[in-house]
Amino acid sequence: QSALTQPASVSGSPGQSITISCTGSSSDVGSYNLVSWYQQHPGKAPNLVIYEVSKRPSGVSNRFSGSKSGNTASLTISGLQAEDEADYYCCSYAGGSAVFGGGTKLTVL
């Protein structure tokens, strides 16, 4: 049950694209297409932005996209906007249990 590995921080200018990686193992990310991503603004509960690797919930902007290759999943946000500044967490199914990444702080410059 080791936490998934994410970069501590990423940044980008408005209009640019950024990608956040999430590296796990063959016990979680590599074995299941059940990776989800969450956006969390300060003092708020997390909000689901991607599920099952690349699916977007209703109401989430199509600027958010997800992918996976081997043991690493990725979240890409295109056309960065000021409101995207937040913490982002990946999460993977791990055979009954689940495991989160350590989180990535996105700064919009």
Please report, as ranges, the residues that interact with another protein according to CB under 8 A: 1, 3, 34, 36, 38, 40, 45-48, 51-52, 57, 87, 89, 91-94, 96-103
Q: Which is nearer to another protein, 64 or 89 (CB)?
A: 89
Listing DSSP states for 78-89 in one string gives -S--GGG-EEEE
Our measurement of the distance from residue 24's CA atom to the centroid of its chain's CA atoms, rounded to an integer in Å, reads 13
| Shortest distance (Å) from residue 13 CB to another protein | 26
Residue 18 vs 36, nearer CB to another protein:
36
CB of 101 to another protein, least distance (A): 7
- Planar angle of CA 37, 76, 85, nearest 5 degrees: 75
d(CA 41, CA 36): 17
Comparison of 52 and 83: residue with beta carbon closer to another protein: 52
Cα–Cα distance measured from residue 82 to residue 99, given in angstroms and rounded to the nearest whole number: 29
For another protein, give the closer residue by CB, 45 or 82.
45
